[in-house]
Amino acid sequence: MKKPTSIVFGHRKINIKYIPHKTASKLGFLAEIDAHKNLIRIDKSLDHQTTLNCIIHEMIHFICDHFSIECPANIEELFAECGTNGLLDALAQNQNLLEYLAKVLKK
């Protein structure tokens, strides 16, 4: 399965760059955003499940930036972490909901 290389969000095209594990480890992250450059960088050694988790997590940060949500960084991070894990758990446990979303959102 091929990992996504970009995401469209509103007027933005967010590019996803997969970086070597050694680089990500040296920088101290699995994934990070640069909202001003519309870029997500992700450790390319991650499995698909972890990559998806990182993409959704970083998209929550983009949503906060896009809608100018101002809150302390630790609160935004907690929201991104809990929101991502909760959403992905609910979708994984409710296959019918995932199928419904795919049908409703299909263009």
Q: Looking at residue 98, which CATH number applies to its domain?
A: 1.10.10
- Count of domains observed in the chain: 1
pLDDT digits (tens, 9 = 90+) for 3-31: 999 999 989 999 999 999 999 999 999 99
Q: What pLDDT was estimated at residue 73?
A: 93
Does 98 reside within a domain?
A: yes
Q: Would residue 78 count as lying in a domain? A: yes
Look at residue 1 and tell me if it is in a domain: no
Name all contacts of 30-38 with Cβ < 8 Å and 24+ positions apart: 30/54, 31/55, 31/57, 31/58, 32/58, 33/58, 33/61, 33/62, 33/65, 35/61, 35/62, 35/65, 38/12, 38/13, 38/14
Confidence of residue 107 (pLDDT cuts 50, 70, 90): confident
pLDDT digits (tens, 9 = 90+) for 31-81: 999 999 999 999 999 999 999 999 999 999 999 999 999 999 999 999 999
pTM of the entire predicted model:
0.92
Structural domain containing residue 67: 6-105
In-domain check, residue 90? yes
